[in-house]
Amino acid sequence: MDKYGLIGHPLGHSMSPLIHKRLFALSGITDYSYELIDIAPEELASKEEMLREMKGFNITIPHKTAIIPMTDKLGESALRYNSVNCIANCDGVMTGYNTDCDGFIRSAELLPLGGKVLLVGCGGVGRMMAIEAALHGAELTIAVIPQDVKTAQLAMAEILSKCSGASVKICLVSEIDGGFDLLINATPVGMFPKVDACPVSDEVIGRCLSFFDVIYNPKETLLMKKARALGRTAVGGAAMLVYQAVKAHELWYGGEFDAEDISAIITEVEDAVS
């Protein structure tokens, strides 16, 4: 039996078992296990032998960087972000990847990622989204609250080092000016249980043409509701969550999936959190 799983700490409710169960079923794979494995930071190094017995596993907070010394190789995405959220074990060689970026790009493929992009927040996954937008040629504005200006400046410096000639500027959320082709919310504002919160004002929303919200619980955030009420396209975080898992299965055993099947899993995830 091939062993798979998700490691992190603390591990509360996770949609990973449901998503991966569906993907294994679509691939016709039945002889496997997928477990949630709670590993405290101080215990990670001692778990290497156990992890090397697994065919593949996902990694979440706080191990995305700490796991890197345990890998034998890093894929291009992991090198770009110095962050690993998926490991594939092929004949004893553990290769680390960052599939968050794959999940983001695939779920946002119909959005104008190369246009005028307003990114709200830039910590964690927001940093990745900022770099991906720059790589796609975006005219990028990073909007943050005052205490996150330093984080935004570091992200901007990293973007300019990776994307020569990139167009990036920083502003406060309270001072967002102008119109945008795409607004990306990379903050937890609006996440369950504080579902009545919105990361930007109605006035800003009215000046944006399409939206991507990293939050998947609830399936339709207040930001998305306001955007759709204006007739705008708005994509939620469930798609990104599912597509990063799809990429993991492609890496683990060469999985191939139909778009209709993946769409059904996205809907199931959205329904599970609604």
Name the residues annotated as catalytic: 64
Going from the C-alpha of 21 to that of each of 191, 236, 247, the distances in angstroms are: 25, 22, 14
Residues in the chain, overall count: 274
Distance of CA 179 to the CA centre of its chain: 25
Going from the C-alpha of 55 to that of each of 88, 92, 109, 185, the distances in angstroms are: 6, 9, 30, 34
119 within 8 A of 141, measured Cβ to Cβ: yes
Rounded CA separation 248/67 (Å): 16
SS (H, E, C) 195-234: CCCCCCCHHHHHCECEEEECCCCCCCCHHHHHHHHCCCEE
b/e for 237-272, b at 16 or more Cβ within 10 A? bbbbbbbbbbbbbbbbbebebeeeebeebbeebbee
